[in-house]
Amino acid sequence: MTKNVSAGPNGTASAPPALSRRLGLADAVVIGLGSMIGAGVFAAFAPAARAAGSGLLLGLAIAAVVAYCNATSSARLAARYPASGGTYVYGRERLGPFWGYLAGWSFVVGKTASCAAMALTVGTYLWPGHAHAVAVGAVVLLTAVNYSGVQKSARLTRAIVAVVLAVLAAVPVASFTTGEADWTRLEIGTGATATGVLQAAGLLFFAFAGYARIATLGEEVRDPARTLPRAIPLALAITLVVYAAVAVAALGVLGPQRLAAATAPLSDLAHATGLGPLRPAVRVAAAVAALGSLLALILGVSRTTLAMARDRHLPHALAAVHPRFQVPHRAELAVGAVVAVAAATADLRSAIGFSSFGVLLYYAIANASAWTLTPAENRPPRAIPAVGLLGCLLLAFTLPRPSILTGAAVIALGAAVYAVRNRLTRR
C-alpha cells in the first residue's frame, strides 16, 4: 500500500503536514448540502427537461439511485481512509497508483468545470449583462474565504443553506396549494425516450455529486470513522427530498416544454403560482445557492489537489499547509486562479455536461474500489458498488456527444501525462 510521505530535512521520510480536524457531523452535512442544492435546482433541471421532457422525474430517480450507491461506497471508503483526496486516495490504495491518479485527474478537471458553472450561475442571476465579470469576482471572494480557514467556510455555508432552503420551501408549497398545477404533466408521455431519460439522469447527476465534498474533507472531520458514513447519506437524503418537491412542482405548473426553455425555472415557477413579488428573492436565493456550491467545490478541488501534490502527480509546492490557518493555501490559490480563468471564458450548459462526464468516471473508480473491501473492512453489499459502477459508466456515455468527446479527450490527456511521467521517472 502506498505511503503518503515526503522527504524530511535530512533526506529521511517524514509525514506531510496534517490538516486540523475541526468539522463535526452538522458541519459535514451542511457542506454537502451547500454543494448539491445550488447546482441541482438552479442549473441542471432545465437541460434535463430538454433531454427527457415528461421523463424528468424518472431521470431524477435513476440519478438518485446511482448517487445512493456512490454515496454508500464513498462513505465506507472514507471511514477506512479519512484523508484529503477522496477517491484519489481510495483508488490509489485499493486499485493501484494509476487508478488513483485517474480518479484524481477526473475529479479535478470535472469539478473545475463545476466551479465555473456555479460561478456563472451567480453572474447570470445577479447581473446577466456582466455574468463573466461577476463570476470571476465570486471566485476571488470565495477563494479568500477558504484561505482563511475551513471553519469559516462551514459557517458561511450553513447560513447560505438556511436562506436557500427557506425559499425552496416557499415556492413548491405555493405550487401545491394555489391550484395552478396540472398533475397529468407528471405522467411519462411520448416525449420521453429511454436515451433521453438516461441523458437527463446523467445531467442531473451533476446536481447530486456534492456529497463528494464531505469525503474529500476526511482529514478535517472529527471522528471520521463515525461521522463520514452518517453525514454522506444524510446530506443526500435531504437533497433528494428537496429536488423531488421542486421537480414535481415545476412539471406540474410549467410543464416539460416551459421548464426546458426556462433560463430561471424557479423564478418562472414563482411567477406562475402568483408569487411574482418573490421573483427577486428567488433570483437572490439562486445566486446565494450557487455561491454555497462554489464555496464547497473549491474546498473539494483544493483538497484533491493537495493529495495529488503530496504524491508529486501535481507540483509538490501545492502540498504546503498554512501554519496559521491549517489549510492547503497554495493549492487553494492555484485552484482559484484556474477557476477564475474558466469562469471568464466558459459556457454554462457545456460546463455541466463536461463536469458530469468527469465526475461519473471518478465515481466509477470509487465503486470499483469499494468492491475490493473485505467484510472486516465494513464492505457494503456487493450489489451497491456493482450497480454504482455500471450506472456511472452508462450515464457517462449517454451524455450529449460533445460532452463525451471533450471529456474523453481531457481524460486521455491526463493518462498520457501519467504514462510519460512514469517513463521519465524510471530512467
With cut-offs at 50, 70 and 90, classify the pLDDT of residue 6: very low
pLDDT of residue 324: 82
pLDDT of residue 15: 56
Q: Could you tell me which residues come within 8 angstroms of residue 337 by beta carbon, excluding any fewer than 6 positions away?
A: none
Return phi, psi of residue 300, to 5°. Answer: -65, -45
pLDDT of residue 216: 63
Return phi, psi of residue 314, to 5°. Answer: -125, 165
What are the DSSP calls for 204-227, one per residue?
HHHHHGGGHHHHHTGGGBSSHHHH
Q: Examine residue 248 and state whether it is found in any structural domain, yes or no.
A: yes
Q: Examine residue 5 and state whether it is found in any structural domain, yes or no.
A: no
pLDDT at residue 11 greater than cutoff 50:
no
pLDDT of residue 224: 81
For residues 117 and 190, the model is more confident at 117
Q: Examine residue 357 and state whether it is found in any structural domain, yes or no.
A: yes
Q: Scanning the structure block, which residue is given the C-alpha cell 443553506?
A: 161
Q: What is the pLDDT of residues 214-269, one digit of tens each?
A: 766 667 788 887 888 888 888 888 988 989 999 999 998 998 989 998 877 888 88
Mean pLDDT is highest, among 140-154, 165-179, 215-229, for 165-179
* CATH code assigned at 152: 1.20.1740.10
In angstroms, the CA 215 to CA 230 distance is: 11
Predicted model pTM = 0.82
Q: Examine residue 111 and state whether it is found in any structural domain, yes or no.
A: yes
Kindly report the CA angle at 414 between 408 and 419, in degrees rounded to 5?
Answer: 125
Q: What's the domain range around 392? A: 21-426
With cut-offs at 50, 70 and 90, classify the pLDDT of residue 9: very low
For residues 62 and 6, the model is more confident at 62
pLDDT at residue 338 greater than cutoff 80:
yes
pLDDT of residue 61: 93
Any idea which of 112-126, 216-230, 408-422 has the lowest mean pLDDT?
A: 216-230
Q: Examine residue 117 and state whether it is found in any structural domain, yes or no.
A: yes
pLDDT of residue 31: 79
pLDDT at residue 169 greater than cutoff 90:
no
With cut-offs at 50, 70 and 90, classify the pLDDT of residue 413: very high
Q: Could you tell me which residues come within 8 angstroms of residue 172 by beta carbon, excluding any fewer than 6 positions away?
A: 245, 246, 248, 249
For residues 258 and 175, the model is more confident at 258
Q: Examine residue 11 and state whether it is found in any structural domain, yes or no.
A: no
pLDDT of residue 316: 92
With cut-offs at 50, 70 and 90, classify the pLDDT of residue 191: low
Q: What is the pLDDT of residues 65-87, one digit of tens each?
A: 999 999 899 888 988 888 777 89
Q: Which three cell numbers stand for residue 391?
A: 450506472
Overall domain count for the chain: 1
pLDDT of residue 348: 76
pLDDT of residue 217: 67
Q: Examine residue 9 and state whether it is found in any structural domain, yes or no.
A: no
Calculate the average pLDDT of the chain. Answer: 85
With cut-offs at 50, 70 and 90, classify the pLDDT of residue 14: low
Q: Examine residue 8 and state whether it is found in any structural domain, yes or no.
A: no
CA atoms within a 13 Å half-sphere pointing along the CA-CB vector of 103: 29
CA atoms within a 13 Å half-sphere pointing along the CA-CB vector of 306: 29
pLDDT of residue 1: 42
With cut-offs at 50, 70 and 90, classify the pLDDT of residue 406: very high
